[in-house]
Amino acid sequence: MGHQYLHFSSSSDIIDPMVCNEVITTPNGSVRIKSHYLGKFWGRNNQNLILADSDDSTSSSSSNNNNSSSSSVLTRIFIGRSEKGRNQKQKQENNSPESDMLFWPTKVGNDVVALRNLGNGKLCKILSSANGKINCLSADVSTISTEVHLEVDETVTSRKIYNVNFHLRDARIYNRSILTFATEDAINRTQEPKTVDVKLSYSESKTRAWNSSISLKLLGVKTTIQSTVPLIIVEGKIELSGEFSGDYQWGQTESLTTDKENLYKFSVPPMTMVRVNLIATKASCDIPFSYEQLDTTTLTDRQQITETIDDGIYTGSNYFDFKYETEQENCNDNMNCGKSDVFCFHKCV
């Protein structure tokens, strides 16, 4: 068999078994990429060309020690760490004989990544011509630019996310703020205290998003999710309230707004105006979670793939700790409440 150079062709179809690649993450976050057709791993030769001709005896042990199981095709690319973290890990990996088969992926778009080979620390680009080879992959670029952008397609036709398990002890609550939702005034121009009902109307909004901290899931794949929905409640605690089940675009933030009315009863002293404020606290939260993922693929030998993954991040925001605050002000002749009304109510927001 000759050298297995990677060749890019615009005529290739996603269902062609020759174009599919499997991605396996290592414990430190770098990845190994295996040609699904050849059964060989990508590796860099002494001319910086990437070939699918390497056997890797360490891949099984590496993947077994990792929280994320191996993926099916070159679509479960893993998002790279920070530049500082990547440089520290790269120095360690460069001393390893397997470093030429390791890559650091960096997400640069919804379905675009850049791959840095850890053997020489260079980014991979398509080389139009090299020693008679056309449109090969070569690791010889130092910085991320358009020439190192690699578009990724999934062989996954549908995806189901279920058995979502939130790690509430590791949740983070931030961006707390206290807001006034609605205000109403009630005026008593008589000499006797009066009890009144005030209706406060307001719109309550919340956001939610399920995402991955490591694995990349492309937006084009039809995804359904079954999950409970975390909410921040009184005293800044988090509870799982209700359930969401249906189609979801992975990583997208959904905003939900509900119009509400609250009826508040209180006493207004004689010759007094009482202002009622409905206030609440708004906050955001990040909650890690694990989940089961069932992929239906176009692969003839693996039509369904199930994985347990522990890289989920739920981000949400909502209002909580609703309460009423009142302010009083003595009436005077300048307060025009109308000739026939004992009480006047003024909607202020």
Task: Let me know whether 315 and 217 are in one domain.
Answer: yes
Judged against a pLDDT cut of 50, whether residue 338 lies above it is answered with no
Taking residue 155's Cβ as centre, other Cβ atoms within 10 Å add up to: 24
Q: Which of 64-78, 200-214, 215-229, 313-327 has the weakest average pLDDT? A: 64-78
Tell me which residue has tokens 């205000």.
183
Q: Is 94 helix (H, G, I), strand (E, B) or coil?
A: helix
Confidence of residue 67 (pLDDT cuts 50, 70, 90): very low
Residue 175 lies in a domain: yes
Distance CA(164)–CA(312), nearest Å, equals 9
Whether 142 and 284 share a structural domain: no
pLDDT over 70, % of the chain: 75
Number of domains, the chain: 2
Determine contact, residues 108/152, Cβ cutoff 8 Å. no
Q: Looking at the predicted structure, is the pLDDT value of residue 80 above 60?
A: no
Strands 222-232 and 156-166 come out as parallel
How far apart CA 217 and CA 293 sit, in angstroms, is 11
Domain-ending residue, one of 126, 153, 180: 153
Per-residue burial over 308-347, b = 16 or more CB atoms within 10 Å of its CB, e = otherwise: ebebbebbbbbbbbeeeeeeeeebeeeeebeeeeebebee
Task: Say which CATH number the domain at 262 has.
Answer: 2.170.15.10
Q: Output the pLDDT for position 47.
A: 87
Output the CA angle 146-153-36, nearest 5 degrees.
110
User: Which sign does the torsion angle of CA 319, 320, 323, 327 carry?
Assistant: negative
Domain span at 308: 159-347
- In angstroms, the CA 76 to CA 276 distance is 54
pLDDT of 301 over the 70 cut: no
State the pLDDT at residue 1: 43
182 in a structural domain: yes
Q: Is residue 11 part of a domain?
A: no
pTM for this predicted structure = 0.70
CA 69 to chain CA centroid, Å, is 19
Closest CA to 28 of 114, 90, 106: 90
Task: Report if residue 6 sits inside a domain.
Answer: no
Q: What are phi and psi of 59, to 5 degrees?
A: -65, -35
- CATH number of the domain to which 21 belongs: 2.80.10.50
Sequence-ordered list of residues with C-beta below 8 angstroms from that of 299, at least 6 positions apart, any chain: 17, 20, 36, 72, 73, 155
User: Greater confidence, 299 or 182?
Assistant: 182
> How confident is the model at residue 153, as a pLDDT?
79
* Residue 183 shares a structural domain with residue 122: no
pLDDT exceeds cutoff 90 at 217: no
Average pLDDT (259-288) is 94
In a domain, 8, yes or no: no
265 and 326 both lie in a single domain: yes
Residue 181 token pair: 């939702």
At residue 342, does pLDDT exceed 80?
no
For residue 237, is pLDDT > 80?
yes
Residues 105 and 238 in one domain: no
- Does pLDDT of 303 surpass 70? yes
Task: Mean pLDDT check: name the lowest of 31-40, 79-88, 108-117, 137-146.
Answer: 79-88
* pLDDT at 219 (0 to 100): 66
Q: How many helices (H) and strands (E) does the chain have?
A: 2, 18
Cα-trace Rg, the chain: 30
Inside any domain, residue 259? yes
Q: Say if 12 falls within a structural domain.
A: no
Query: What is residue 106's predicted lDDT score, i.e. its pLDDT?
Result: 87
Higher pLDDT pick, 19 / 290? 290
- Do residues 185 and 147 share a domain? no
The residue among 347 and 247 whose pLDDT is bigger is 247
